[in-house]
Structure 1
Amino acid sequence: MSDLILNAAVLGVGMHLGAWRHRPESPTSYVDLDFYREIARLAEDGRLHAIFLADTLAVSEENFERPNLGAMDPTTVLGALAAVTKHVGLVATATTSYSEPYNLARRIASLDHLSRGRAAWNIVTTFIPDVAANFSKAPLPPHAERYARAEEFVDIVTALWDSWEDGALVGDKASGLFADRARVHPVNHDGNFFAVRGPSTLPRSPQGRPILFQAGSSEQGRTFAARVADAIFAVQNTLPAAIAFRDDLRQRAEGFGRDPNSLKILPGLLPIIGGTEEEAQKRKKDLDELAGDAELRKLASRVGVAVSELDLDKPLPIDRIKANDRFNSSRGFQAAAVELATSGNLTVREILYRNGGGHPQVVGTPEQVADFIESWHRAGAADGFNVMIDEYPSGLRAFVGEVVPLLQKRGVFQKEYRGTTLRENLGLEKSNDTVRTQEQRRSNYA
């Protein structure tokens, strides 16, 4: 059993909100290319499948109190890393709510060609209301509208990626034939949100098309993911909920005529590692103290109540959370926090100890972290994990140097890369979709 997938998720200088004060390196590392180069080198040395870059289009979540968790444009950073890596995948987050399909399709395809087939797009629909004000006078659209736009957006992007058939780029110097025009097709899309003629300026991807990640956990998000995604960045905090989520997504994928094994479910996981439990707990305590009440405020935002309504030594106010019919943020994060709180009858303080920015948090030795990963994987709860490193580079160094060898020794994680493209390394077949008509595309989201 060696099909476990592990990605390093990069958010600022670490997922923990106290990381920038705890680490000895400069607080400005997150705008330094050498910082990302070291992460890429560590990830590739550890045979991790991909580097996963978050994105953000507003400053409100961090509010200038710490490095923004996604300040740098992911495709720009990953383009630079393509030149200094050979195997590790490059996952760029980009929103469908505040992008245009043609431009984004071109950016991701460019990254895929420059990396020789290692690019992926993490599809998000933007749930932070303050982002809207950076693009227009209109407020953040309702949840259903954001997903309706995303459905159409992704169909256009994939149609553009498919607009050049395999072999359309001929490059025959003797005959003078550069491209076979009969094998390059316009998209001619005219939908509810977009009009795009196409075709793409770039030939077909080395991996057929770049990998699609998606992170939705709502009812609409799950259906969307089951139809279009190759990998799901899941938000699940308990083993039973994670098993149910994976089973549900696989069943939905089958309903779309897909092989359920072609959908990889990757929950987030925040490990805080120490040589002993005491060392790990001290690292956690030191990080928490430096973060102040930032994690509490983030939890309040994620569940949709005021900070004043959260008492550290009392349970979450579940009735207040469920009664908030104006909640327009991430329903996945909200549901995961509620599930964790109710399944274990936890206080807010206990939730903060086990919930790392919305994801399960393991505070312990390398063996304990490896046990958690292996147990979830073997139980059918996860095909792998997006590892939310607490602090870069020390957290990744500990994970790669101490946890990965344990997983390799147990036979659950790869010792070498399977192929040359990200699609191959994830155990997915090359995409060979033919060009679809506008009517076929519209039937997907009409």
Structure 2
Amino acid sequence: MARIQPTPGTDGATGPDGDGTGTGRRRKAVRYAVPVAVAGVAAATIGITSAFAGTGDPDLPRISAQDLIAKMAQSDTQRMSGTVKISTDLGLPSLPSGASFGADGKDGKGGKGGGHDGGKGGAAPSPESKLTELLSGTHTLRVAADGPDKQRLSLVERAAEYSVIRNGDQLWAYDSASNTVYHSEAPKAPAEGKGGKAGQDMPKGLGAASPQELSKKVLAAADESTSITVDGTAKVAGRDAYQLVIKPKQGESTVGSVRIAVDAKSGVPLKFTLAAKSGGKAVVDAGFTKVDFGKPSAGTFAFTPPKGAKVTEADEKAVGAGRDHKNDHKSGLPEALGLPGVGGDASVAPEVTGEGWASIARFSAGKDAGTAVTGKAKSGAKGGEKNAADAGALLDSFGTKVSGGFGSGRVFSTKIVNALVTDDGKVYVGAVDKDALVKAANAAK
């Protein structure tokens, strides 16, 4: 089979493929997919079944889960263009009228003097901050790549478009809503063979929502707590694909399954679907509606700031960079699912207990956070009793009161992630059920 060129934005190191599976050979790690070692680890520890894709539509040759993962790892796709539709339903609670979980408003337009990086006249929003707009609703992304140094990704809104363009050593971000531009030199990719990840040159943000990146992270995080099988075939964006299904073995996990449609010819993930154990609408459904593996036109990666646009150079923005992105709207989804983590002080690394899909992050948010979740006002505070009653009523609509050996607190839930915040400001977060969080809090005492 002819080799496909590497897709930009992924691993470029080499690693062993053998771990007791009997293959005993080494393959070149690719820029696009998971490291080749994942295929070997899967065969030895994940508990891959001997399921085959022999039924369904289209009719494709049978393939085992192990071989399909290896096919993804060997995929070298470097050139492609297409349209991705992403729908997200985290099951976040409804906020009072006029409030929003995002800071940029309905169409991602920064508010006057506010937003992530300011409204009109400010700096262009960062790719990281734009990612938060994908945490609810349905959105359209347009993507294009021609090797590791030519990439374009755009978030298309009803009346505006936000684009990140890398062309050689130049990196641009353009927000048509505010007519603002951010410009910097593109980061240099590490040399292959030195443990670097060649091609990971676009800023973190919108690219993390692509089917490729979502699939890569989940497979890279898979371990013995994971079951992987092939479950039929599908047509995605007009192409034949195998369906790879990933399921947690641990009963306390809130994840039902992850389904990845893998292009039968190239090994590129075309669709990623995350389902909650509780059922209902998919939590994340990201897939190509159109895809072309031909060479995009050179003009796709050309960019000149429009007339009248305010251009912010990287040096001008450096001072506020840490403040702008440190605590941008954390969603709480595990990092392996390709979405931002849960907040608190982002500078403090959490302790992690448990393993695999049942892992729980623990950190301290401070006594003020504990006071907030109890709905209690500080002693002597003006209007304390009324404020406490109002806060308690609001929190009751969002969280559930719990208690145990750790004391008491509230559990705040989405379809996938639950978070326990104790009265003394300890936070326990994971893609696990409420009982698992309470057990972790009790064990920490």
TM range (shorter): under 0.3
TM-score between both structures, scaled by the size of structure 2 = 0.28
Question: Could you say which structure has the larger radius of gyration?
Answer: 2
Report 1 or 2 for greater relative contact order, CA contacts < 8 Å, sequence distance ≥ 6: 1
The structure in which a higher percent of residues are strand is: 2
The structure in which a higher percent of residues are helix is: 1
